[in-house]
Structure 1
Amino acid sequence: MVFFTFASVWCGLASSFDSLLAARAVQGMAGAVYTVAPTVIAEVFFLHERGRAMAIYTAFLAGGPYVGGISGSYIASSLGYQYIFWISTAFAVWSLLMQYLLVPETLFDREQQVLGDSTPLGGEDGITQEKSQISTVERAAGSEVPARYTYIQSLGFGRYRGDWLSHFLAPWLSLRLPGTWVVVLQYGALVGGVVSTATIGPMFLAAPPYLWHSNVGLFNLGGLVGVAIGALFTFLTADYMIKWRAKKEQHGFSEPETRLPVLIPGIFLGTIGLWTFGFCAANPSAHGWAGLVVGSGMHAAGLTMVPSIGFNYLIEAYGALSGDCFTMTSVARSVVGFAWTYFTAEWIMSAGPALPFGIFGMLTTVFGLLALPLYFFGKRSRIATAGFVSERHGF
């Protein structure tokens, strides 16, 4: 967040395209901090609360670009595009302060602080050895073991564990897990659709017969409404499903696959939204803008609903390894978002919008249907790949 703040200032001060491009590269690198958020949610909220918490997170994740799309055109036309980055700086500073003051450090190891032992965890007998040491210290020290630690100590700075190379490779090794592929492909397809509608929609509305000019940013209102509807639906249903299923089981537990049926409405809306957008874009009319806006909103609802469930599945299926899985979803989001902007506009203008958006919708459906084998065989796949998870953490 510190790097993101300084990069935002750099963007606002950039006086050339090369300088702005370099600043944006640093800003994008630092912005990858959002990958940590789902892991924090996993560690702070209980199983039956996690669906609602993740719905709120994905609502902001998906809704942010639409808010920027609505306000950006007005800010740029009245104050200059650099002013957008100063607003971004203000939000970055506020977020940095709130993160420092309000977000708990979920990796703070109180027992390790008691021991004063910097031996890295994760070795073959690391966990067993540490617990034995803690028990010995507590018996020997008795009441002398410190009861409280300062806030600065709880931040845990300087207690990095493991080696850089293994942590760098870990996200790529998570591709050995079927659930990672399913979530990455679904999320990538939906992000590609959003990039396409957000890029092409304003271009169509700025041209005849619409001629919205500087008001083309209002196109994103449909997406913002769709995000709100999708978040509300997921907020109400994601945790309800696992509670309902747990009551049906004699043991009272719920499997991670229980959440997956909630994906179906999101995949449906995402697909139909792209097809609606493509059809209306291919057949412009006096009121055809409504179809563009509604189609974009339907797809935005799917973008909010599907990752909410997918991220929770990764948490519950792979536990501590889910952070590595989230890194891969971020890579997919970035690669798709970057690549789509290069060929989408040219392809749509040359082939017409019907064919490209028809293919985008088909891909959304195909990748969405991968949830079916995961629902029926997900537990077997988790058992088959359990060795990868234990291998990663030394258990």
Structure 2
Amino acid sequence: MWCGLAGTFNSLLAARVVQGIGFGPADTIAPDTVGEVFFVHERGRAMAIYTVFLSGGSFIGGTAGAYIAGQLGYRYIFWITMAMCAAVFLLEFFLVPETLFDRQAALVAEQHPSVMGDGTYSDEKRAGVETVERTIVLGDRMTFRQSLSIGVYRGNLVQHFLDPWRSLAFPGTWVVMLHYGGLLGGLITISTIGPQLLAMPPYLWGDNVGLLGLGAVVGGLLGFLPTYLTADRLLTGRAKKESHGFAEPESRLPALFPALFLATTGIWVFGFCAANPSPHAWAGMVVGYGMVGFGIMQIPSIGFNYLIDSYHAISADCFVMTTISRAVVSFAWTFFAAQWVETAGAALPFGIFGMIMGLFALLTIPLWLYGKRMRIATAGYLPNHENH
């Protein structure tokens, strides 16, 4: 709403900061919820469904946004999205139950029901039972209305603020957040620069510049199918070959290689076609955008599942860092990209962006080969609590 009402650039900038504060938790909590709800052999497909909506919303919104801004004015982009966000907020508030649950305290209450009466148990166990009584009604005694209560909170605020930064001690966090940050940086740069180029000669697309996003829509849909089919199959197939029936998280990583290749080369394809305008060069720009769209569909799906499988106890903290890296890299790339393209042409900037993405992609190889050893070496940094 603030963005739609903003009368100055500084006001719009401040409103965007507030938007970022709101988007951050959503981008962090949603993938972690998938990890909590689904079993290890189901997470790949579930994450693929989540990711296709995550990326598809951006692509379809970018395509529609050009027409909305051209016909109604750019402010209506904010008014329409505000209405959708308000609807989601109401559905969340009234229909989605609170799932925060103190498992350890519940187990204490279940195993030692007399702790409330005779005082024969430790203070720690008594405190656990009291925590359950204060925060949540156990078992079938909880009504749906009670499950919608909010404000259940435990722990130290400063400690929770610092925890995500400690996840940087794990190589897997770095690889996934660099993948995601570099990919989103390239994607947002294309979505920012592409419409500007298509609005100029020899294209002169006018309000149709948003059609560039259809390439990403098609690429994302093409990326969804192999992700949905292979994300879990690689893991379960590997488990069947092991006598103990288990597979390591690294079994998922080979599914990343095609997407990383397409994302890297897609940035180059877009940059080459943008640097050599002709009446039909737009087709190459659309294809390049689609290749990156394929990557944004598959890479987070596999990478997020790797973090959940590898560091389940701190996966939410890892997702905080991936969200931060995405925001920082995307801002850094787009902050100067338009001026850089204007002065140096599109080939050099997108060539460097693709090179950076390629370097990030190469980090997947040592993680695939030595990821288990890295996890063993850094296991001491994991939190030592009952849920790990």
TM-score, normalised relative to structure 1: 0.87
Which one of the candidate residues 13, 16, 21 is aligned to 2:8?
16
After superposition, where does 1:106-125 map in structure 2 within 5 Å? 106-109=99-102, 112=105
**Which stretches in structure 1 are left out of the alignment for 5+ residues?**
1-8, 117-127, 138-144
Q: Does 1:212 align with 2:205?
A: yes
Tell me the residue number matched to 1:87. Answer: 80
Tell me the residue number matched to 2:348. Answer: 355
The structure-2 alpha-carbon separation of the partners of 1:158 and 1:248, relative to structure 1 and needing over 3 Å to count, comes to same
Tell me the residue number matched to 1:309. Answer: 302
Tell me the residue number matched to 1:202. Answer: 195
After superposition, where does 1:51-62 map in structure 2 within 5 Å? 51-62=44-55
The structure-2 alpha-carbon separation of the partners of 1:26 and 1:147, relative to structure 1 and needing over 3 Å to count, comes to same
After superposition, where does 1:25-64 map in structure 2 within 5 Å? 25-32=17-24, 33-64=26-57
Tell me which amino acid in the other structure corresponds to 2:302. I
Tell me which amino acid in the other structure corresponds to 1:27. Q
Cα pair 1:263 1:309 within 8 Å, conserved = yes
Tell me which amino acid in the other structure corresponds to 1:311. F
Cα pair 1:108 1:154 within 8 Å, conserved = no
Cα pair 1:114 1:146 within 8 Å, conserved = no
After superposition, where does 1:228-267 map in structure 2 within 5 Å? 228-267=221-260
Q: Distance in 1 between matches of 2:148 and 2:104?
A: 14
Superimposed CA distance per residue, residues 265-315 of structure 1 (whole angstroms, 9 cap, x where no aligned partner): 110110111111111111111111000000000011111111111100000
Displacement of 1:131 after TM fit?
9.8
Q: Does 1:376 align with 2:369?
A: yes
Q: Larger deviation: 164-173 or 338-347?
A: 338-347
Q: Distance in 2 between matches of 1:169 and 1:196?
A: 31
Displacement of 1:390 after TM fit?
2.7
The structure-2 alpha-carbon separation of the partners of 1:252 and 1:84, relative to structure 1 and needing over 3 Å to count, comes to same
Cα pair 1:40 1:106 within 8 Å, conserved = no
Superimposed CA distance per residue, residues 155-195 of structure 1 (whole angstroms, 9 cap, x where no aligned partner): 46333111111111111111000100001111111111112
Q: Does 1:189 align with 2:167?
A: no
Tell me the residue number matched to 1:160. Answer: 153
Q: Does 1:72 align with 2:65?
A: yes
**Which stretches in structure 2 are left out of the alignment for 5+ residues?**
110-120, 131-137
Q: Larger deviation: 89-98 or 165-174?
A: 89-98
Cα pair 2:3 2:75 within 8 Å, conserved = yes
Displacement of 1:38 after TM fit?
0.8
Superimposed CA distance per residue, residues 109-165 of structure 1 (whole angstroms, 9 cap, x where no aligned partner): 47747979xxxxxxxxxxx9799669999xxxxxxx874212343346333111111
Q: Distance in 2 between matches of 1:223 and 1:49?
A: 26
Cα pair 1:111 1:134 within 8 Å, conserved = no
Residue 23 of structure 1: SS of its match in structure 2? helix
Superimposed CA distance per residue, residues 54-75 of structure 1 (whole angstroms, 9 cap, x where no aligned partner): 1121222222222121111211
The structure-2 alpha-carbon separation of the partners of 1:114 and 1:178, relative to structure 1 and needing over 3 Å to count, comes to closer
Displacement of 1:22 after TM fit?
2.1
The structure-2 alpha-carbon separation of the partners of 1:103 and 1:386, relative to structure 1 and needing over 3 Å to count, comes to farther
Displacement of 1:13 after TM fit?
2.7
Residue 360 of structure 1: SS of its match in structure 2? helix
Tell me the residue number matched to 2:114. Answer: none
After superposition, where does 1:133-144 map in structure 2 within 5 Å? none
What is the aligned-residue identity percentage? 56
After superposition, where does 1:316-335 map in structure 2 within 5 Å? 316-335=309-328
Superimposed CA distance per residue, residues 78-102 of structure 1 (whole angstroms, 9 cap, x where no aligned partner): 2222221121122112222333455
RMSD across aligned C-alpha pairs, in angstroms? 2.6
Tell me which amino acid in the other structure corresponds to 1:58. T
The structure-2 alpha-carbon separation of the partners of 1:393 and 1:355, relative to structure 1 and needing over 3 Å to count, comes to farther
Residue 195 of structure 1: SS of its match in structure 2? helix
Q: Larger deviation: 318-327 or 80-89?
A: 80-89
Tell me which amino acid in the other structure corresponds to 1:297. G
Displacement of 1:316 after TM fit?
0.4
Tell me which amino acid in the other structure corresponds to 1:258. S
Which one of the candidate residues 273, 278, 286 is aligned to 2:279?
286
Cα pair 1:222 1:297 within 8 Å, conserved = yes
Q: Distance in 1 between matches of 2:224 and 2:123?
A: 42
Q: How many residues are treated as equivalent by the alignment? A: 370
Superimposed CA distance per residue, residues 171-230 of structure 1 (whole angstroms, 9 cap, x where no aligned partner): 111100010000111111111111221111111111111111111111111111111111
Q: Distance in 2 between matches of 1:275 and 1:87?
A: 34
Q: Distance in 2 between matches of 1:135 and 1:306?
A: 41
Cα pair 2:104 2:386 within 8 Å, conserved = no
Q: Distance in 1 between matches of 2:74 and 2:204?
A: 22
